[in-house]
Structures are given as structure tokens and as C-alpha cells.
Amino acid sequence: MAFCNNCGTQIQEGKKFCASCGQPVTVGAATEQQQSGQQQRNQQQTQYQQTFQQGVNQLNNLVQNTADETAGIDPADITKNKAMGGFAYFLFFLPLLVCPESKYGRFHSNQGLIYLFLCIGGGIANGILSAILTWRLWWLSSILSLVIGIPILVIGIIGLINGFSGKAKELPVIGKFRIIK
């Protein structure tokens, strides 16, 4: 497919003159333009792929490179209170009531409380955005609800897995804060 160098109109194959402006068709220049355009598109695609891969790597580092305090907790405490560590993400105060002396329980109670604050903050942000966008932009409000809700859900699932599996790892992004010591 060739284009006129003068006016940019698409030129049918085999034509020697542009149907729009009458300029003679130079096959080499048109082919050269197409190859140049294809090279630019390939370079852009490569840049997009590299940027995407960098983002995936950063997200992976964010999730996996959180502080792990499992070594500082007695293994017997962990074994005895695994269930309470997991349930802390549903009711953060449950380990504080059932096993108040457990360092493992207190760790996950703290993480569960911070997760509760994240859920409340996400709900408030979602409510404000929904009120601002009103019913005319309901589709945008729905998309923003997913953008807010899915990361919160993923963080909660990571906490549940850590709690029930006997790991004292901080939650990504929010886990470094200490309220319950």
C-alpha cells in the first residue's frame, strides 16, 4: 500500500499518478516511508513491552520484598496460633482476646488493624468518587471501584495466606506501620 508523498492520499497498486493531486508516484520513496513507519512502530512496541516489564518487576518486588519477622517469633507460638493469625484479617482483635501473650497473634492483629483502616479508606474514597461522578458517569465509577477494590482484596488475601501459613511477613505497602506492639 503506497501513499502520495505530496498529499498523503492512498495510491492503488499499479498507478503511476496520484488520483487526488496528479503527482507522479515514486515507488522507492513510498516503500521507504512504509519501512520507516514500521520500524518506528516496532521501536514503540519494544519500549511499551520494556516499560510493562519494569512495572511488573517493581510490583513483584513490592509484594515479595516485605519484612519477614518469622525468625524472631518462637516456632511453638506460631504453630499454636496459626489460625488466630489468619482470623486477624477478619476480626483484628480476635488474637488479642484469645491469645494475648502471643507475639505472632499481636503481629497479625496489627496487620489486620492496618488492613481494616485501608478498607475503610478505600470505601470512603470510592464513595466520594461515586458521589462526584454521579449517575451520568456510572461506568467510570464502576471502573474506579475495581481499581480501588482489587488491590485491597489482593492485600487481604496475602495477609490471610501469611497468617494461616505461619509467616510473620508484613503486608505490601501498608505493613510497615505499627499500632499494636
3: β partners:
10
Beta partners for 1? none
Residue whose C-alpha is closest to residue 171's, from 129, 82, 110, 121: 110
Q: Establish if 75 belongs to a structural domain.
A: yes
Looking at the structure of the chain, the number of domains it has is 2
In whole angstroms, give the CA distance from residue 149 to residue 157: 12
Separation CA 72–CA 116 (nearest Å): 25
Say whether both 9 and 83 belong to one domain.
no
Quote the CA–CA distance of 68 and 2 in Å, as a whole number.
Answer: 61
Give the pLDDT of residue 132. Answer: 84
If asked whether residues 42 and 77 sit together in one domain, one would say no
Each residue of 73-116: pLDDT tens digit? 999 999 999 999 999 999 999 999 999 999 999 999 999 999 99
Say if 28 falls within a structural domain.
Answer: yes
Task: Write out the chain's pLDDT in tens, 181 residues.
Answer: 677 777 778 877 778 888 888 888 775 554 566 667 778 888 888 899 999 898 888 878 877 778 888 899 999 999 999 999 999 999 999 999 999 999 999 999 999 999 999 999 999 998 888 888 877 787 888 888 899 999 999 999 999 999 999 999 999 988 888 888 8
| 3-state class (DSSP) for residue 11 | strand
Same-domain status, 121 and 156:
yes
Answer yes or no: do 44 and 81 share one domain: no
Residue 83 domain flag: yes
Give the pTM: 0.67
Q: Are residues 78 and 52 in the same domain?
A: no
Q: Which domain holds residue 152?
A: 71-165
Residue 85 lies in a domain: yes
One domain for residues 80 and 156: yes
27 shares its domain with 91: no
**Per-residue cell: 140:** 467510570
Choosing from 36, 61, 86, the residue where a domain stops is 61
Q: What is the pLDDT of residue 8?
A: 78
Q: What angle do CA 141, 113, 79 make, to 5 degrees?
A: 125
DSSP at 65: S
Q: Which three cell numbers stand for residue 57?
A: 518487576
88 and 148 belong to one structural domain? yes
Q: Which pLDDT score, from 0 to 100, does residue 1 have? A: 63
